[in-house]
Amino acid sequence: MDIIIANNANAPLYQQIKDQIKAAILKGELHEGDSLPSIRALANGLGVSVLTIRRVYSDLEDEGFVTSQAGLGTFVSTGNVELLRDAKRRAVEEKLEEAIQTARMLQITKAELNRMMDILYEED
């Protein structure tokens, strides 16, 4: 898992890190039960404060993406498969809403938009 942080980004460092870990989980790059780096190791690797990573892991745990076990580490949650599926759906819905708004603004019909989506979906 590669995490890239940008000091000049609008989002704070902890948000950038949290978003990238969530994205890795949602994309399947990190699987249920996978171990995340220790707080200290990730902080050192990224050159950020241990408190920043502690906040990231705490937020991810509050959201159900990871679980922490004292003395063992932090792991991708195995108990919230439905939560992960719902988060994936929400991410797609957000992108589709953007596309629909853009299509409406450009006066593209629903039928045209559906054809475009069918073509794009089949290109993979």
Q: 20-69, pLDDT tens digit by residue?
A: 998 898 788 998 899 999 999 999 999 999 999 999 999 999 988 899 99
Instruction: State residue 25's pLDDT score.
Output: 86
| Cβ–Cβ under 8 Å, residues 57 and 39 | yes
Q: Which residue has the tokens 């819905």?
A: 93
Alpha helices in 27-80 (DSSP H): 39-46, 50-62
In DSSP terms, 74 is beta-bridged to 68
What is the rounded CA–CA span in Å between residue 87 and residue 13?
A: 22
What is the rounded CA–CA span in Å between residue 116 and residue 65?
A: 34
Give the pLDDT confidence of 76-124 residue by residue, as tens digits. Answer: 986 666 677 787 788 899 999 999 999 999 999 999 999 999 999 888 6
Instruction: State residue 64's pLDDT score.
Output: 87
Range of weakest confidence among 6-10, 11-15, 90-94: 6-10
What is the rounded CA–CA span in Å between residue 93 and residue 105?
A: 18
Global pTM exceeds 0.95 = no
Instruction: State residue 77's pLDDT score.
Output: 86
Q: Tell me the three state secondary structure of residue 66.
A: strand
